[in-house]
Structure 1
Amino acid sequence: MSLYGAIALSEVKAKKDLKTFIRVAEEIYAQDPCWVKPLMIERLALLDRTKNPYFDHARAAYWIAWKNGRPVGRISAQIDQLAQKHRGDSIGHFGMIEAIDDRAVFATLLGKAEDWLKAAGCTRIEGPYNLSSNGECGLLVDGFDTPPVLMMGHARPYYQKHLMALGYAKAKDLLAYELDLLKPLPPRLARFIKTVEQNEKITLRQIDMRRYQDELHKIIDIYNDAWSDNWGFVPLTAEEATHLAQDIKPIVAPHRVRLCEVDGKPMGMFVTLPDVNMVLRSFNGRLLPLGWLRLLSGLFISYPKRLRVPLMGVRKIMQKSRYSAALALMMIEHTRRDVVRRGGAMGGIILDFGR
């Protein structure tokens, strides 16, 4: 353990320390009614270097800040070889940052992450990423009165103030949108989609759960191509795709996932998942002893009222053609119809603006 003034830092080594690292957030958000406590089993799997295939191409360190004998903050620092390949070999990341409203704690945590990255040859630091741009990313700066949707982070209002005071500046805006699925498309767009539906070259279908792994790999292949020129892009590896497919399979429904083919070749994909955070808010981070029954009930007995769009894209070869908007709108509209028919109401999507 190292001392920074009155603040002590300890690096996370053992599993018991990792649990303490995860639980740091509990006191910080104790008075925040919008915070959704993550499942311990999910956070452990994310941060476990032996289970998360992210660590096949990345390395990370985790630290806990202590003051007067109690944990008051945490941070991770990551070096991702794929991120460096796509964005420059000088970049390093920080993430998992949580802290009490104390600038000295933020300064200590960020200083440690910066020192660790500098020692590894990095000259730029960017974050927060939990753990990469393919996971939870960005710092919440508006919308603190809204619970986070699945795979989106949360923060206290003072985080931005302390980071900016320590010299950090915005790298890119991440904007979250909400769509009322009960509202039909404007007539002009509806007519456009109807015309496209008559094009014999275009086939729109649900995924085939009998070929689930193969279908998910098609989706990830489209994603890696469609998003490859976007700011912050880091490709998902085949191992990460397989891991993701296993993780989300329990909440995947074929009617909420679309593949769009042109002349028999997969060219677009649209994935929606139920917002499990709406159910998890009452779990206090534990599935046992009976939480899993409530989870199943919340997701499958009653139809989810809120959905999240974690993946959507059209291959680059199509993006400058007249098909691009047509494929995207078709996938959104056909999914919307099926969801509304089953009782769904809202859809959430997060997009990265700027290239």
Structure 2
Amino acid sequence: MTADAVRRTAGLTVTPVETRADRAAFLGLPYRLHRGSARWVPPLRRDARALLSRSRNPFFEYGEVALFLARRGGEPVGRVAAVSNPRHTEFHGSPDGFFGLFECADDLLAADALLETAADWLRRRGLTSMSGPVNFSTNDECGMLVDGFDRRPAVLMPYNPPYYPLLLAECGFGAAMDLWAWEREVAEPADPRLARVAERLASHVRVRPVDMRDFDAEVARMRRIYNAAWESNWGFVPMTEREFSAQARRLRPVVRPELVLMAEADGEPVGFCLTLPDVNQALYAAGGRLTPRSALRMASAMRRIDGCRVVATGVLPEFRRRGVEAVMFLRTLEAARGLGYRTGEVSWILATNAAANSAASGIGCARSKTYRIFKRGI
């Protein structure tokens, strides 16, 4: 056994994930916990494994992760990842630790033991707080659903049962930041003021679809805008070139070029808007595995996708508040309508980002879900 000691309490054990069997149990737990849920979307197991792969996930080039599994009577009942992100510490000047990949039965003792074990691991590395869930940075899937449990999550967004935030509250966690999701019907007409803004900007701002033939260069342009546009946001850490490229390669098979827009002023990129088809509708049909039968179900479901999600929008600071965001949203809405999508989600937006939330409201969206990142001292 490693220095990360076994924690035992009331018939419960929490141990580090060390063996192949441990890892299989860790990866398999959410599929067992949420089996039969009409809301939870099983990720492809190959993608779940890739997240933990030191050779495939660029986070491991600088970050450190420890996995822990709770068992009761030998059966897995919970899991958690403790996450040390030195780039976050350096960028924000604060020794913050994180937890992620949290899954647990409705078992307060198990949840508390898991989170205490993660806190011990972080404390030994000189970190003084623990925030999450974050898998493994705010550039990845993060947040815990606290309202909007009545529908499935959009692509790249999490889902959890309603008792999860109650467990965290009982374990001493408070809200650090809320993340809002917005939604609208694509067929609804846009506010005529957006068209007038687009006309006003047309002489010096051009909005175009991404050029898939120039994919690598387009990705580099988006990364420069993303890191500059988001650098003052709560919890943000600049993405490395390899992180951004890996994410782009992962998403490329589902990209519809009409929904990925670049804004240019005098020929120079100043903004982008990334929207994806809601492939969660197809992943739900696959059930987490790509067997010949599930692959056929997934392929059939892909043809019936009727929703999309605005995943990321960024505009260079010097071009904000000029209407560039509004024009990109308008063009995205027009493209989504032309592709036959029924609904669109804009997520997530920091609850404190008044400008972005106002823009979402301004294009006719209504708030649909709230995700929360929790925090406590350790």
TM-score for both structures, normalised by structure 2: 0.88
Tell me: CA distance 1:220–1:295, structure 2 relative to 1, closer, same or farther (3 Å): farther
- 1:161 is matched with 166
Partners of 1:89 and 1:190 lie apart in 2 by 44
After superposition, the C-alpha distances for 1:288-307 in whole angstroms (9 at most, x for unaligned) are 224334434433x44x3111
- 1:337 is matched with 334
State the 1:96 CA deviation: 0.6
After superposition, the C-alpha distances for 1:55-105 in whole angstroms (9 at most, x for unaligned) are 112010001100011000000000111111122341010011111111100
- 1:254 is matched with 257
Matched, 1:40 2:41: no
Q: Does the residue aligned with 1:282 lie in a helix, a strand or coil?
A: helix
Q: 1:69 is matched with which residue: 55, 69, 74?
A: 74
Question: % of aligned pairs identical?
Answer: 35
Partners of 2:139 and 2:194 lie apart in 1 by 31
Contact conserved, 2:271 with 2:316, CA < 8 A, in 1?
Answer: yes
Matched, 1:109 2:110: no
Q: For 2:308, give the aligned amino acid.
A: L
- 2:325 is matched with 328
- 2:273 is matched with 270
Contact conserved, 1:308 with 1:348, CA < 8 A, in 2?
Answer: yes
Matched, 1:220 2:227: no
Q: For 1:305, give the aligned amino acid.
A: D
Matched, 1:210 2:233: no
Q: For 1:316, give the aligned amino acid.
A: P
Contact conserved, 2:287 with 2:294, CA < 8 A, in 1?
Answer: no
Q: Does the residue aligned with 2:144 lie in a helix, a strand or coil?
A: coil
Q: For 2:350, give the aligned amino acid.
A: D
State the 1:346 CA deviation: 1.2
Q: Does the residue aligned with 1:112 lie in a helix, a strand or coil?
A: helix
Partners of 1:352 and 1:278 lie apart in 2 by 25
Contact conserved, 2:197 with 2:327, CA < 8 A, in 1?
Answer: no
Q: For 2:8, give the aligned amino acid.
A: Y
Tell me: CA distance 1:186–1:202, structure 2 relative to 1, closer, same or farther (3 Å): same
Partners of 2:7 and 2:196 lie apart in 1 by 66
**1:78-227 aligned within 5 A:** 78-197=83-202, 199=203, 201-227=204-230
Matched, 1:7 2:12: yes
Partners of 1:239 and 1:336 lie apart in 2 by 31
Contact conserved, 2:68 with 2:79, CA < 8 A, in 1?
Answer: yes
State the 1:165 CA deviation: 1.6
After superposition, the C-alpha distances for 1:265-324 in whole angstroms (9 at most, x for unaligned) are 10000011111111111212101224334434433x44x3111111111011222xx52x
Contact conserved, 2:194 with 2:327, CA < 8 A, in 1?
Answer: no
RCO (CA 8 Å, sep 6+): is it higher in 1 or 2? 2
Contact conserved, 1:230 with 1:354, CA < 8 A, in 2?
Answer: no
Contact conserved, 1:19 with 1:44, CA < 8 A, in 2?
Answer: no
Matched, 1:244 2:247: yes
Matched, 1:50 2:48: no
Q: Does the residue aligned with 1:153 lie in a helix, a strand or coil?
A: coil
- 2:361 is matched with none
Contact conserved, 2:283 with 2:298, CA < 8 A, in 1?
Answer: yes
* Runs of 5+ unmatched residues, structure 1: none
Partners of 1:195 and 1:267 lie apart in 2 by 17
- Which stretch shows the higher mean deviation, 82-91 or 52-61? 82-91
Matched pairs, number: 347
Q: 1:288 is matched with which residue: 277, 287, 291?
A: 291
Q: Does the residue aligned with 1:271 lie in a helix, a strand or coil?
A: strand
TM-score for both structures, normalised by structure 1: 0.94
Contact conserved, 1:57 with 1:81, CA < 8 A, in 2?
Answer: yes
Which of the two has greater strand per residue?
Answer: 2
Tell me: CA distance 1:83–1:74, structure 2 relative to 1, closer, same or farther (3 Å): same
Partners of 1:16 and 1:178 lie apart in 2 by 41
State the 1:15 CA deviation: 4.1
Question: Cα RMSD between the aligned structures?
Answer: 1.5
State the 1:31 CA deviation: 4.5
Q: Does the residue aligned with 2:111 lie in a helix, a strand or coil?
A: helix
